[in-house]
Chains A and B, each alone.
Chain A
Protein backbone atom coordinates (compact mmCIF):
# COMPACT_ATOMS: atom_id res chain seq x y z
CA UNK A 1 0.00 0.00 0.00
CA UNK A 2 2.68 2.41 1.04
CA UNK A 3 4.79 1.48 -1.93
CA UNK A 4 1.78 1.98 -4.13
CA UNK A 5 1.10 5.44 -2.73
CA UNK A 6 4.73 6.42 -3.02
CA UNK A 7 5.00 5.26 -6.56
CA UNK A 8 1.80 7.03 -7.47
CA UNK A 9 3.00 10.29 -5.97
CA UNK A 10 6.36 9.79 -7.65
CA UNK A 11 4.58 9.31 -10.91
CA UNK A 12 2.62 12.50 -10.35
CA UNK A 13 5.84 14.33 -9.60
CA UNK A 14 7.49 13.01 -12.73
CA UNK A 15 4.47 13.91 -14.81
CA UNK A 16 4.46 17.46 -13.45
CA UNK A 17 8.22 17.79 -13.90
CA UNK A 18 8.01 16.44 -17.42
CA UNK A 19 5.56 19.18 -18.32
CA UNK A 20 8.17 21.78 -17.51
CA UNK A 21 11.31 19.94 -18.52
CA UNK A 22 10.29 18.20 -21.72
CA UNK A 23 9.66 21.25 -23.90
CA UNK A 24 12.87 22.85 -22.71
CA UNK A 25 14.82 19.67 -23.48
CA UNK A 26 13.29 19.45 -26.92
CA UNK A 27 14.45 22.90 -27.96
CA UNK A 28 17.60 23.63 -26.01
CA UNK A 29 19.24 20.24 -25.53
CA UNK A 30 19.14 18.14 -28.72
CA UNK A 31 20.40 14.59 -28.47
CA UNK A 32 24.20 14.51 -28.31
CA UNK A 33 25.74 14.85 -31.78
CA UNK A 34 28.20 12.02 -32.07
CA UNK A 35 31.49 13.15 -33.62
CA UNK A 36 34.83 11.39 -33.82
CA UNK A 37 38.26 12.51 -34.96
CA UNK A 38 39.22 9.57 -37.18
CA UNK A 39 42.57 11.08 -38.24
CA UNK A 40 44.28 14.32 -37.17
CA UNK A 41 41.93 17.14 -38.20
CA UNK A 42 39.43 14.76 -39.87
CA UNK A 43 36.08 14.62 -38.08
CA UNK A 44 33.20 12.28 -38.92
CA UNK A 45 29.62 11.99 -37.73
CA UNK A 46 28.33 8.52 -38.60
CA UNK A 47 24.78 8.30 -39.95
CA UNK A 48 22.29 5.70 -38.74
CA UNK A 49 21.03 2.79 -40.82
CA UNK A 50 17.41 3.97 -41.10
CA UNK A 51 14.97 3.96 -44.01
CA UNK A 52 14.34 7.20 -45.92
CA UNK A 53 10.83 7.48 -44.48
CA UNK A 54 11.67 6.46 -40.89
CA UNK A 55 11.88 8.88 -37.95
CA UNK A 56 15.48 10.07 -37.86
CA UNK A 57 15.81 9.68 -41.66
CA UNK A 58 17.58 13.06 -41.80
CA UNK A 59 20.58 11.56 -39.99
CA UNK A 60 21.52 8.54 -42.10
CA UNK A 61 24.57 9.71 -44.07
CA UNK A 62 28.16 10.02 -42.86
CA UNK A 63 29.01 13.71 -42.75
CA UNK A 64 31.89 15.71 -41.31
CA UNK A 65 34.69 18.20 -41.83
CA UNK A 66 38.44 18.62 -42.27
CA UNK A 67 40.42 21.38 -40.57
CA UNK A 68 43.47 23.12 -42.10
CA UNK A 69 45.55 25.97 -40.64
CA UNK A 70 43.59 28.55 -42.61
CA UNK A 71 40.02 27.23 -42.71
CA UNK A 72 37.57 24.34 -42.56
CA UNK A 73 35.98 22.25 -45.35
CA UNK A 74 32.64 20.58 -44.63
CA UNK A 75 31.92 17.32 -46.47
CA UNK A 76 28.18 16.73 -46.79
CA UNK A 77 25.70 18.41 -44.48
CA UNK A 78 23.05 15.83 -43.55
CA UNK A 79 19.42 15.39 -44.45
CA UNK A 80 17.94 18.42 -42.72
CA UNK A 81 18.76 21.98 -41.75
CA UNK A 82 18.62 20.71 -38.16
CA UNK A 83 21.41 18.18 -38.78
CA UNK A 84 23.38 20.82 -40.68
CA UNK A 85 23.13 23.13 -37.66
CA UNK A 86 24.22 20.34 -35.32
CA UNK A 87 27.28 19.76 -37.52
CA UNK A 88 28.02 23.48 -37.58
CA UNK A 89 27.76 23.67 -33.78
CA UNK A 90 30.16 20.71 -33.53
CA UNK A 91 32.66 22.52 -35.77
CA UNK A 92 32.38 25.63 -33.62
CA UNK A 93 33.20 23.59 -30.52
CA UNK A 94 36.38 22.33 -32.21
CA UNK A 95 37.79 25.34 -34.04
CA UNK A 96 37.25 29.07 -34.49
CA UNK A 97 38.62 28.93 -38.07
CA UNK A 98 36.25 30.07 -40.83
CA UNK A 99 34.30 27.54 -42.90
CA UNK A 100 35.55 28.22 -46.42
CA UNK A 101 34.14 25.23 -48.34
CA UNK A 102 30.99 23.14 -48.18
CA UNK A 103 31.46 20.10 -50.43
CA UNK A 104 28.56 17.86 -51.48
CA UNK A 105 29.44 14.36 -52.68
CA UNK A 106 26.19 14.04 -54.70
CA UNK A 107 22.56 15.12 -54.99
CA UNK A 108 20.82 12.84 -52.51
CA UNK A 109 18.71 14.49 -49.84
CA UNK A 110 20.56 12.93 -46.89
CA UNK A 111 23.80 14.64 -48.01
CA UNK A 112 22.63 18.12 -49.06
CA UNK A 113 19.65 19.43 -47.10
CA UNK A 114 21.88 20.73 -44.28
CA UNK A 115 23.67 23.14 -46.68
CA UNK A 116 21.41 25.98 -45.58
CA UNK A 117 22.85 25.83 -42.05
CA UNK A 118 26.16 27.10 -43.48
CA UNK A 119 24.76 29.96 -45.58
CA UNK A 120 25.72 32.50 -42.89
CA UNK A 121 29.38 31.45 -43.21
CA UNK A 122 29.39 32.43 -46.90
CA UNK A 123 31.56 29.47 -47.91
CA UNK A 124 32.12 28.35 -51.49
CA UNK A 125 29.73 25.45 -52.16
CA UNK A 126 31.51 22.83 -54.25
CA UNK A 127 30.17 19.78 -56.10
CA UNK A 128 30.31 17.74 -59.29
CA UNK A 129 29.71 19.83 -62.43
CA UNK A 130 26.37 18.02 -62.86
CA UNK A 131 25.22 18.61 -59.26
CA UNK A 132 23.53 21.96 -59.86
CA UNK A 133 21.27 20.49 -62.56
CA UNK A 134 20.57 17.42 -60.45
CA UNK A 135 19.50 19.64 -57.55
CA UNK A 136 17.36 21.74 -59.89
CA UNK A 137 15.33 18.74 -60.94
CA UNK A 138 15.09 17.40 -57.36
CA UNK A 139 14.03 20.68 -55.76
CA UNK A 140 10.26 20.25 -56.08
CA UNK A 141 10.45 16.66 -54.87
CA UNK A 142 12.57 17.56 -51.83
CA UNK A 143 10.19 20.38 -50.92
CA UNK A 144 7.16 18.16 -51.16
CA UNK A 145 8.57 14.98 -49.67
CA UNK A 146 10.88 16.39 -46.96
CA UNK A 147 9.12 19.63 -45.97
CA UNK A 148 9.77 19.10 -42.26
CA UNK A 149 13.51 18.77 -42.85
CA UNK A 150 13.73 22.36 -44.08
CA UNK A 151 13.67 25.36 -41.78
CA UNK A 152 10.03 26.45 -41.58
CA UNK A 153 8.68 27.83 -43.80
CA UNK A 154 10.31 25.54 -46.36
CA UNK A 155 11.53 27.41 -49.45
CA UNK A 156 13.37 26.19 -52.54
CA UNK A 157 16.13 28.74 -51.84
CA UNK A 158 17.20 26.64 -48.84
CA UNK A 159 18.50 23.98 -51.25
CA UNK A 160 21.87 25.53 -51.99
CA UNK A 161 23.52 24.48 -55.24
CA UNK A 162 27.29 24.60 -55.80
CA UNK A 163 28.87 27.85 -56.97
CA UNK A 164 31.86 25.81 -58.12
CA UNK A 165 31.42 22.70 -60.26
CA UNK A 166 34.15 20.07 -60.62
CA UNK A 167 34.53 18.68 -64.16
CA UNK A 168 37.39 16.27 -63.46
CA UNK A 169 39.66 17.26 -60.56
CA UNK A 170 39.98 20.20 -58.21
CA UNK A 171 42.54 20.99 -55.53
CA UNK A 172 41.37 22.91 -52.45
CA UNK A 173 43.87 24.46 -50.05
CA UNK A 174 42.76 24.66 -46.41
CA UNK A 175 46.15 26.00 -45.25
CA UNK A 176 48.95 23.46 -44.90
CA UNK A 177 46.45 20.89 -46.12
CA UNK A 178 45.28 19.99 -49.63
CA UNK A 179 42.08 18.22 -50.59
CA UNK A 180 41.80 16.57 -54.01
CA UNK A 181 38.25 16.47 -55.32
CA UNK A 182 37.48 14.06 -58.13
CA UNK A 183 34.34 14.02 -60.27
CA UNK A 184 33.21 10.57 -61.51
CA UNK A 185 31.29 9.45 -64.59
CA UNK A 186 27.73 8.19 -63.92
CA UNK A 187 27.91 5.57 -61.13
CA UNK A 188 25.86 5.74 -57.91
CA UNK A 189 24.29 8.94 -59.36
CA UNK A 190 25.23 11.23 -62.25
CA UNK A 191 27.09 13.60 -59.91
CA UNK A 192 29.39 11.56 -57.64
CA UNK A 193 32.41 13.31 -56.14
CA UNK A 194 35.15 11.92 -53.89
CA UNK A 195 37.40 13.88 -51.54
CA UNK A 196 40.97 12.86 -50.73
CA UNK A 197 42.86 14.44 -47.84
CA UNK A 198 46.54 14.16 -48.75
CA UNK A 199 47.80 14.88 -45.25
CA UNK A 200 46.23 11.78 -43.67
CA UNK A 201 45.58 9.77 -46.88
CA UNK A 202 41.90 9.70 -45.98
CA UNK A 203 39.40 9.11 -48.78
CA UNK A 204 35.78 10.25 -48.48
CA UNK A 205 33.98 8.13 -51.03
CA UNK A 206 30.52 9.68 -50.77
CA UNK A 207 27.97 7.06 -51.79
CA UNK A 208 30.34 5.35 -54.21
CA UNK A 209 30.84 3.14 -51.15
CA UNK A 210 28.02 1.77 -49.01
CA UNK A 211 28.95 -0.50 -46.15
CA UNK A 212 26.35 -2.57 -44.24
CA UNK A 213 23.49 -0.55 -45.79
CA UNK A 214 22.38 -1.85 -49.21
CA UNK A 215 23.78 0.32 -52.04
CA UNK A 216 21.13 2.30 -53.93
CA UNK A 217 21.51 2.57 -57.70
CA UNK A 218 20.45 5.83 -59.34
CA UNK A 219 23.16 6.20 -61.97
CA UNK A 220 24.70 3.34 -63.90
CA UNK A 221 25.54 -0.11 -62.54
CA UNK A 222 28.24 -0.59 -65.17
CA UNK A 223 29.64 2.85 -64.45
CA UNK A 224 29.63 2.10 -60.73
CA UNK A 225 31.54 -1.17 -61.16
CA UNK A 226 34.07 0.67 -63.36
CA UNK A 227 34.47 3.33 -60.66
CA UNK A 228 35.10 0.61 -58.05
CA UNK A 229 37.93 -0.74 -60.22
CA UNK A 230 39.60 2.66 -60.20
CA UNK A 231 38.97 3.23 -56.49
CA UNK A 232 40.42 -0.16 -55.57
CA UNK A 233 43.79 0.87 -57.00
CA UNK A 234 44.03 4.02 -54.90
CA UNK A 235 46.51 4.10 -52.08
CA UNK A 236 44.72 5.29 -48.95
CA UNK A 237 45.06 4.76 -45.23
CA UNK A 238 41.53 5.51 -44.15
CA UNK A 239 38.14 5.34 -45.85
CA UNK A 240 35.03 7.30 -44.90
CA UNK A 241 32.13 5.69 -46.80
CA UNK A 242 28.85 7.47 -47.53
CA UNK A 243 27.07 5.00 -45.26
CA UNK A 244 28.46 2.50 -42.75
CA UNK A 245 31.60 2.26 -40.67
CA UNK A 246 35.07 3.72 -41.23
CA UNK A 247 37.56 1.32 -42.85
CA UNK A 248 41.33 1.07 -43.23
CA UNK A 249 41.62 -1.40 -46.09
CA UNK A 250 39.93 0.18 -49.11
CA UNK A 251 40.00 -2.87 -51.40
CA UNK A 252 38.48 -5.06 -48.66
CA UNK A 253 35.86 -2.42 -47.87
CA UNK A 254 34.82 -2.25 -51.54
CA UNK A 255 34.51 -6.02 -51.95
CA UNK A 256 30.97 -6.63 -50.59
CA UNK A 257 29.52 -3.80 -52.65
CA UNK A 258 31.31 -5.04 -55.76
CA UNK A 259 29.95 -8.54 -55.12
CA UNK A 260 26.38 -7.20 -54.80
CA UNK A 261 26.57 -5.02 -57.93
CA UNK A 262 28.09 -7.88 -59.93
CA UNK A 263 25.28 -10.20 -58.74
CA UNK A 264 22.83 -7.55 -59.90
CA UNK A 265 24.43 -7.36 -63.36
CA UNK A 266 24.75 -11.14 -63.78
CA UNK A 267 21.23 -11.86 -62.52
CA UNK A 268 19.55 -9.16 -64.59
CA UNK A 269 21.44 -10.17 -67.76
CA UNK A 270 20.28 -13.74 -67.26
CA UNK A 271 16.63 -12.67 -66.83
CA UNK A 272 16.81 -10.50 -69.95
CA UNK A 273 18.35 -13.35 -71.96
CA UNK A 274 15.44 -15.59 -70.92
CA UNK A 275 12.89 -12.98 -72.03
CA UNK A 276 11.69 -12.41 -68.47
CA UNK A 277 9.96 -9.10 -67.75
CA UNK A 278 11.22 -6.56 -65.24
CA UNK A 279 8.87 -7.65 -62.43
CA UNK A 280 10.08 -11.25 -62.70
CA UNK A 281 13.65 -9.96 -62.43
CA UNK A 282 12.74 -8.05 -59.26
CA UNK A 283 11.52 -11.29 -57.71
CA UNK A 284 14.47 -13.48 -58.75
CA UNK A 285 17.69 -11.50 -59.01
CA UNK A 286 20.30 -11.31 -56.27
CA UNK A 287 18.26 -12.95 -53.51
CA UNK A 288 21.37 -14.76 -52.17
CA UNK A 289 22.72 -11.32 -51.22
CA UNK A 290 19.81 -10.46 -48.93
CA UNK A 291 21.30 -11.66 -45.64
CA UNK A 292 24.41 -9.49 -46.11
CA UNK A 293 22.67 -6.11 -46.14
CA UNK A 294 20.54 -3.73 -44.10
CA UNK A 295 17.38 -2.13 -45.58
CA UNK A 296 17.15 -4.68 -48.38
CA UNK A 297 13.38 -4.48 -48.81
CA UNK A 298 13.25 -0.74 -49.41
CA UNK A 299 15.97 -0.65 -52.07
CA UNK A 300 16.78 -3.93 -53.81
CA UNK A 301 13.79 -4.04 -56.20
CA UNK A 302 14.57 -0.46 -57.21
CA UNK A 303 18.15 -1.47 -58.00
CA UNK A 304 16.96 -4.40 -60.12
CA UNK A 305 14.58 -2.15 -62.03
CA UNK A 306 17.32 0.39 -62.74
CA UNK A 307 19.86 -2.26 -63.75
CA UNK A 308 17.32 -3.98 -66.01
CA UNK A 309 16.58 -0.77 -67.91
CA UNK A 310 20.28 -0.11 -68.33
CA UNK A 311 21.25 -3.62 -69.43
CA UNK A 312 18.34 -4.43 -71.75
CA UNK A 313 19.87 -2.14 -74.38
CA UNK A 314 23.38 -3.64 -74.30
Chain B
Protein backbone atom coordinates (compact mmCIF):
# COMPACT_ATOMS: atom_id res chain seq x y z
CA UNK B 1 0.00 0.00 0.00
CA UNK B 2 1.54 3.31 -0.96
CA UNK B 3 1.54 6.28 1.36
CA UNK B 4 -0.91 8.29 -0.65
CA UNK B 5 -3.40 5.46 -0.59
CA UNK B 6 -2.86 5.01 3.15
CA UNK B 7 -3.49 8.69 3.67
CA UNK B 8 -6.67 8.61 1.65
CA UNK B 9 -7.81 5.55 3.66
CA UNK B 10 -7.30 7.51 6.85
CA UNK B 11 -9.23 10.45 5.43
CA UNK B 12 -12.02 8.06 4.47
CA UNK B 13 -11.95 6.57 7.97
CA UNK B 14 -12.27 10.00 9.56
CA UNK B 15 -15.02 10.95 7.17
CA UNK B 16 -16.87 7.72 7.90
CA UNK B 17 -16.65 8.24 11.63
CA UNK B 18 -17.90 11.82 11.23
CA UNK B 19 -20.80 10.70 9.09
CA UNK B 20 -21.54 7.83 11.43
CA UNK B 21 -21.76 10.27 14.33
CA UNK B 22 -24.06 12.49 12.34
CA UNK B 23 -26.25 9.76 10.98
CA UNK B 24 -26.48 6.70 13.15
CA UNK B 25 -28.39 6.39 16.33
CA UNK B 26 -26.73 3.97 18.68
CA UNK B 27 -22.99 4.29 18.27
CA UNK B 28 -20.92 4.16 21.43
CA UNK B 29 -17.09 4.35 21.54
CA UNK B 30 -16.94 0.57 21.19
CA UNK B 31 -19.00 0.72 18.01
CA UNK B 32 -16.87 3.53 16.60
CA UNK B 33 -13.96 1.12 16.74
CA UNK B 34 -15.79 -1.24 14.41
CA UNK B 35 -16.29 1.60 11.95
CA UNK B 36 -12.52 1.97 11.51
CA UNK B 37 -11.17 1.17 8.10
CA UNK B 38 -7.78 -0.34 8.83
CA UNK B 39 -8.79 -3.28 10.98
CA UNK B 40 -12.22 -4.63 10.17
CA UNK B 41 -13.33 -6.71 13.13
CA UNK B 42 -14.28 -10.33 13.15
CA UNK B 43 -17.55 -10.85 14.87
CA UNK B 44 -18.90 -7.32 15.41
CA UNK B 45 -21.96 -9.02 16.85
CA UNK B 46 -20.06 -9.62 20.10
CA UNK B 47 -19.87 -5.87 20.75
CA UNK B 48 -23.11 -4.86 19.04
CA UNK B 49 -25.32 -7.29 20.94
CA UNK B 50 -24.90 -5.70 24.41
CA UNK B 51 -25.29 -2.22 22.93
CA UNK B 52 -28.39 -2.96 20.92
CA UNK B 53 -30.14 -5.55 23.07
CA UNK B 54 -28.40 -5.62 26.47
CA UNK B 55 -28.87 -9.02 28.07
CA UNK B 56 -32.35 -9.61 26.65
CA UNK B 57 -33.07 -13.15 25.56
CA UNK B 58 -32.93 -13.77 21.81
CA UNK B 59 -34.62 -16.82 20.29
CA UNK B 60 -32.58 -18.51 17.59
CA UNK B 61 -34.34 -21.72 16.56
CA UNK B 62 -37.78 -20.95 15.18
CA UNK B 63 -37.37 -21.15 11.39
CA UNK B 64 -41.14 -20.85 10.99
CA UNK B 65 -41.03 -17.41 12.58
CA UNK B 66 -38.37 -15.93 10.33
CA UNK B 67 -35.70 -17.14 7.90
CA UNK B 68 -32.78 -15.44 6.16
CA UNK B 69 -31.41 -16.54 2.80
CA UNK B 70 -28.33 -15.54 0.83
CA UNK B 71 -26.29 -17.41 -1.78
CA UNK B 72 -23.51 -19.23 0.14
CA UNK B 73 -20.95 -18.41 -2.56
CA UNK B 74 -22.18 -15.02 -3.54
CA UNK B 75 -21.99 -14.47 -7.28
CA UNK B 76 -21.51 -10.74 -6.86
CA UNK B 77 -19.97 -9.51 -3.59
CA UNK B 78 -21.02 -5.93 -4.33
CA UNK B 79 -24.68 -6.93 -4.79
CA UNK B 80 -25.51 -9.97 -2.70
CA UNK B 81 -29.25 -10.60 -2.51
CA UNK B 82 -30.60 -11.17 1.01
CA UNK B 83 -34.11 -12.44 1.59
CA UNK B 84 -35.96 -12.30 4.90
CA UNK B 85 -39.14 -14.38 5.12
CA UNK B 86 -41.66 -14.14 7.90
CA UNK B 87 -43.97 -16.96 8.97
CA UNK B 88 -47.61 -16.76 10.02
CA UNK B 89 -46.67 -16.06 13.66
CA UNK B 90 -44.54 -13.11 12.63
CA UNK B 91 -46.46 -11.41 9.81
CA UNK B 92 -47.94 -8.13 10.99
CA UNK B 93 -46.43 -8.48 14.48
CA UNK B 94 -42.86 -7.36 13.88
CA UNK B 95 -41.98 -3.78 14.69
CA UNK B 96 -38.26 -3.80 13.93
CA UNK B 97 -35.67 -5.85 12.04
CA UNK B 98 -31.95 -5.13 12.21
CA UNK B 99 -29.62 -6.53 9.60
CA UNK B 100 -26.01 -7.04 10.70
CA UNK B 101 -23.10 -8.08 8.48
CA UNK B 102 -20.52 -9.05 11.08
CA UNK B 103 -17.31 -8.56 9.09
CA UNK B 104 -18.25 -5.47 7.09
CA UNK B 105 -16.53 -2.18 7.99
CA UNK B 106 -19.96 -0.82 8.89
CA UNK B 107 -21.70 -3.94 10.27
CA UNK B 108 -25.15 -2.50 10.99
CA UNK B 109 -26.39 -2.60 7.40
CA UNK B 110 -30.00 -1.61 8.01
CA UNK B 111 -32.53 -0.98 10.74
CA UNK B 112 -36.08 -1.43 9.50
CA UNK B 113 -39.09 -0.20 11.47
CA UNK B 114 -42.30 -1.87 10.34
CA UNK B 115 -45.78 -0.65 11.00
CA UNK B 116 -47.55 -3.35 13.05
CA UNK B 117 -50.51 -4.83 11.21
CA UNK B 118 -49.05 -4.48 7.72
CA UNK B 119 -48.80 -8.06 6.40
CA UNK B 120 -45.18 -8.00 5.16
CA UNK B 121 -44.07 -11.59 4.60
CA UNK B 122 -40.83 -11.00 2.73
CA UNK B 123 -38.15 -8.29 2.53
CA UNK B 124 -35.30 -8.38 0.00
CA UNK B 125 -32.24 -6.16 0.00
CA UNK B 126 -28.95 -6.16 -1.90
CA UNK B 127 -25.81 -5.66 0.13
CA UNK B 128 -22.06 -5.35 -0.20
CA UNK B 129 -20.05 -8.15 1.44
CA UNK B 130 -16.49 -7.15 2.28
CA UNK B 131 -15.18 -10.56 3.43
CA UNK B 132 -16.43 -13.99 4.54
CA UNK B 133 -19.02 -13.24 7.18
CA UNK B 134 -22.08 -14.14 9.16
CA UNK B 135 -25.11 -12.14 8.14
CA UNK B 136 -27.81 -11.94 10.78
CA UNK B 137 -31.28 -10.54 11.12
CA UNK B 138 -32.80 -9.75 14.53
CA UNK B 139 -36.54 -9.21 14.64
CA UNK B 140 -38.43 -7.62 17.50
CA UNK B 141 -42.19 -8.07 17.88
CA UNK B 142 -44.58 -5.48 19.22
CA UNK B 143 -44.65 -7.31 22.55
CA UNK B 144 -40.86 -7.28 22.89
CA UNK B 145 -39.92 -10.79 21.75
CA UNK B 146 -36.56 -11.06 19.94
CA UNK B 147 -35.72 -13.64 17.28
CA UNK B 148 -32.45 -13.96 15.36
CA UNK B 149 -31.46 -15.90 12.23
CA UNK B 150 -28.07 -15.94 10.59
CA UNK B 151 -26.39 -17.32 7.51
CA UNK B 152 -22.77 -17.61 6.35
CA UNK B 153 -21.74 -15.83 3.17
CA UNK B 154 -18.50 -16.53 1.35
CA UNK B 155 -17.61 -13.38 -0.56
CA UNK B 156 -15.02 -10.65 -0.47
CA UNK B 157 -14.32 -7.28 -2.02
CA UNK B 158 -17.90 -6.01 -2.18
CA UNK B 159 -17.16 -2.74 -0.40
CA UNK B 160 -14.30 -1.76 -2.70
CA UNK B 161 -15.80 -3.09 -5.97
CA UNK B 162 -15.89 -0.48 -8.74
CA UNK B 163 -19.19 0.95 -9.96
CA UNK B 164 -21.11 -1.49 -12.15
CA UNK B 165 -22.06 -1.08 -15.81
CA UNK B 166 -25.22 0.70 -14.70
CA UNK B 167 -23.42 3.55 -12.98
CA UNK B 168 -24.44 7.02 -14.00
CA UNK B 169 -28.00 7.95 -14.91
CA UNK B 170 -30.12 10.47 -13.01
CA UNK B 171 -29.16 10.60 -9.35
CA UNK B 172 -32.21 9.87 -7.23
CA UNK B 173 -34.38 8.44 -10.01
CA UNK B 174 -36.79 5.94 -8.45
CA UNK B 175 -38.33 2.91 -10.16
CA UNK B 176 -41.16 0.67 -8.99
CA UNK B 177 -41.51 -2.89 -10.27
CA UNK B 178 -44.50 -4.92 -9.16
CA UNK B 179 -44.52 -8.72 -9.48
CA UNK B 180 -46.98 -10.18 -11.96
CA UNK B 181 -49.30 -11.32 -9.14
CA UNK B 182 -49.16 -7.87 -7.47
CA UNK B 183 -48.02 -9.31 -4.11
CA UNK B 184 -44.48 -7.95 -4.33
CA UNK B 185 -43.06 -4.55 -5.18
CA UNK B 186 -39.42 -3.78 -5.92
CA UNK B 187 -38.30 -0.20 -5.39
CA UNK B 188 -34.91 1.02 -6.57
CA UNK B 189 -33.11 4.34 -6.28
CA UNK B 190 -30.52 5.35 -8.84
CA UNK B 191 -27.59 6.18 -6.59
CA UNK B 192 -23.89 5.16 -6.42
CA UNK B 193 -24.14 4.40 -2.68
CA UNK B 194 -20.39 4.89 -2.51
CA UNK B 195 -18.94 2.99 0.42
CA UNK B 196 -15.83 5.14 0.88
CA UNK B 197 -13.68 2.12 0.00
CA UNK B 198 -13.89 2.45 -3.78
CA UNK B 199 -11.17 3.95 -5.93
CA UNK B 200 -11.87 6.56 -8.59
CA UNK B 201 -10.47 5.05 -11.82
CA UNK B 202 -9.60 8.49 -13.19
CA UNK B 203 -7.65 9.87 -10.22
CA UNK B 204 -6.68 6.77 -8.26
CA UNK B 205 -8.05 8.41 -5.10
CA UNK B 206 -10.66 7.00 -2.77
CA UNK B 207 -14.24 8.03 -3.59
CA UNK B 208 -15.79 9.64 -0.48
CA UNK B 209 -18.78 7.89 1.09
CA UNK B 210 -22.08 9.05 -0.44
CA UNK B 211 -25.08 6.93 0.37
CA UNK B 212 -28.78 6.60 1.05
CA UNK B 213 -29.15 6.95 4.82
CA UNK B 214 -32.91 6.61 5.12
CA UNK B 215 -35.85 5.24 3.13
CA UNK B 216 -39.55 5.45 3.92
CA UNK B 217 -42.26 3.42 2.22
CA UNK B 218 -45.84 4.62 2.53
CA UNK B 219 -48.97 2.98 1.12
CA UNK B 220 -52.36 4.64 0.94
CA UNK B 221 -51.05 7.55 2.97
CA UNK B 222 -49.84 5.33 5.85
CA UNK B 223 -46.20 4.63 6.70
CA UNK B 224 -45.40 0.96 6.03
CA UNK B 225 -41.72 0.92 6.74
CA UNK B 226 -38.77 3.14 7.71
CA UNK B 227 -35.24 1.99 6.91
CA UNK B 228 -32.05 3.46 8.33
CA UNK B 229 -29.32 2.32 5.97
CA UNK B 230 -25.67 2.94 5.17
CA UNK B 231 -22.68 2.00 3.08
CA UNK B 232 -23.39 -1.75 3.17
CA UNK B 233 -26.28 -1.36 0.74
CA UNK B 234 -25.34 -1.95 -2.90
CA UNK B 235 -25.14 0.63 -5.66
CA UNK B 236 -28.66 1.66 -6.72
CA UNK B 237 -30.22 0.66 -3.37
CA UNK B 238 -33.08 -1.72 -3.85
CA UNK B 239 -35.83 -2.71 -1.43
CA UNK B 240 -38.40 -5.33 -2.29
CA UNK B 241 -41.33 -6.17 -0.06
CA UNK B 242 -43.91 -8.89 -0.47
CA UNK B 243 -47.23 -8.73 1.34
CA UNK B 244 -49.92 -11.39 1.75
CA UNK B 245 -52.51 -8.82 0.65
CA UNK B 246 -51.68 -6.12 -1.90
CA UNK B 247 -50.44 -2.80 -0.54
CA UNK B 248 -52.89 0.11 -0.46
CA UNK B 249 -52.40 2.59 -3.29
CA UNK B 250 -50.63 4.80 -4.03
CA UNK B 251 -47.16 3.70 -2.84
CA UNK B 252 -44.58 6.37 -2.10
CA UNK B 253 -40.85 5.89 -1.60
CA UNK B 254 -38.88 8.69 0.01
CA UNK B 255 -35.13 8.63 0.48
CA UNK B 256 -32.48 10.81 2.09
CA UNK B 257 -28.88 11.04 0.94
CA UNK B 258 -25.75 11.65 3.00
CA UNK B 259 -23.79 13.83 3.14
CA UNK B 260 -25.82 16.09 0.80
CA UNK B 261 -29.13 15.63 2.72
CA UNK B 262 -30.85 15.61 -0.69
CA UNK B 263 -34.37 14.20 -0.54
CA UNK B 264 -35.76 11.97 -3.29
CA UNK B 265 -39.32 10.78 -3.56
CA UNK B 266 -41.66 9.18 -6.07
CA UNK B 267 -45.19 7.82 -6.01
CA UNK B 268 -46.59 4.87 -7.92
CA UNK B 269 -50.08 3.64 -8.58
CA UNK B 270 -50.98 0.14 -9.77
CA UNK B 271 -52.23 0.02 -13.35
CA UNK B 272 -49.48 2.32 -14.53
CA UNK B 273 -46.73 0.99 -16.77
CA UNK B 274 -45.51 -2.32 -15.30
CA UNK B 275 -42.02 -0.93 -14.90
CA UNK B 276 -43.09 2.49 -13.76
CA UNK B 277 -40.48 5.18 -13.62
CA UNK B 278 -40.67 8.19 -11.42
CA UNK B 279 -38.29 11.06 -11.39
CA UNK B 280 -36.74 11.82 -8.04
CA UNK B 281 -37.14 15.25 -6.52
CA UNK B 282 -34.76 17.11 -4.33
- Looking at B69, B164, B175, the one whose CB has the most chain A CB atoms below 10 A away is B164
In the complex with contacts A156-B1, A277-B124, A279-B71, A141-B76 CB distance below 8 A: no
Interface presence of B179 (CB below 8 A) = yes
Q: Do A190 and B79 have beta carbons less than 8 Å apart? A: no
Given contact pairs A137-B199, A141-B157, A275-B274, A309 touches B81 in the complex (Cβ within 8 A): no
A106-160 contacts to B, CB under 8 A, are 130, 132-134, 136-137, 140-141, 144-145, 156
- Which residues 6-38 of A sit at the B interface, judged by CB distance below 8 A? none
Minimum CB–CB distance for A282 against chain B, Å: 7
- The answer to whether B201 touches A130, judged by C-beta atoms less than 8 angstroms apart, is yes
Interface residues of A in 285-314 (CB under 8 A from B): 301-306, 309-313
Q: Which of B76, B81, B275 contacts A302 (CB 8 A)?
A: B76
Known A-B contacts A130-B201, A306-B164; the reply to A313 vs B190 at CB < 8 A is yes
* Partner-contacting stretch, out of B60-68, B90-98, B180-188: B180-188
Q: How far is the CA of A302 from the CA of B236 in the complex (A)?
A: 17
**A223→B180 contact, CB < 8 A:** no
Residue of A nearest to B131 (CB): A144
Asked if B85 is at the interface of the complex by the 8 Å CB criterion, the answer is no
A273 within 8 A of B: yes
The dominant DSSP class at the B interface is loop
B275 contacts which of A130, A136, A272 (Cβ < 8 Å)?
Answer: A272
Known contacts A136-B199, A190-B162; is A309 also within 8 Å of B1 by CB?
A: no
Q: 11 A-B Cβ contacts within 8 A?
A: A190-B162, A275-B179, A276-B179, A279-B69, A282-B75, A302-B75, A302-B76, A306-B76, A309-B79, A309-B234, A312-B177
A304 surroundings in chain B (CB, below 8 A) = 75
Q: Is the CB of B75 within 8 A of A275?
A: no
A309 and B166 contact, Cβ closer than 8 Å, known pairs A277-B81, A277-B124, A279-B71: yes
Contact B165 A278 (CB under 8 A): no
Does any Cβ of A come within 8 Å of B263's Cβ?
Answer: no
